[in-house]
Amino acid sequence: MLLVASTFIGSAYVLSEKAHVSMEWIYDFLSKKNIIKLKIFTSFLSLIFFLILFYFAFLMVEEAFIKNYTTGTVWSPPLWIPYSSMLIGSILMILQYIAEIIKLFDEKDFK
């Protein structure tokens, strides 16, 4: 549970540090300008994914909150709390990706 929370909430920080693994092989064959173009494109793809995740995480939290779901354990905390970590995580990711895209547009080689 906590693991889910730390992964989702931590992910935006990891993105800002550029520590997510990717295949950067193709960058060797492209010019600087094209690399930035490609990066903007892939950032948009990820942004779309997190927007969708945000929407469905919201639905999950809402449902768990209204219907008062709890985890099936002895402690039995309400489920909307761990679920909302996904919501917060996706909000942070959306913000971070918007920031990344703005940063990419500002880069010197792009202009």
* Distance (Å, whole) CA 6 – CA 83: 12
* Distance (Å, whole) CA 40 – CA 90: 19
> Burial of 48 by CB count in 10 Å (0-12 exposed, 13-18 middle, 19+ buried)?
exposed
Minimum distance of other proteins from residue 57's CB (angstroms): 5
Minimum distance of other proteins from residue 39's CB (angstroms): 7
Closer by beta carbon to other proteins, 19 or else 102: 19
Closer by beta carbon to other proteins, 42 or else 70: 42
* Distance (Å, whole) CA 32 – CA 35: 5
Q: Which residues bind other proteins (CB under 8 A)?
A: 1, 3-4, 6-7, 10-11, 13-15, 17, 19-27, 38-39, 41-42, 45-46, 48-50, 52-53, 56-57, 59-60, 82-83, 86
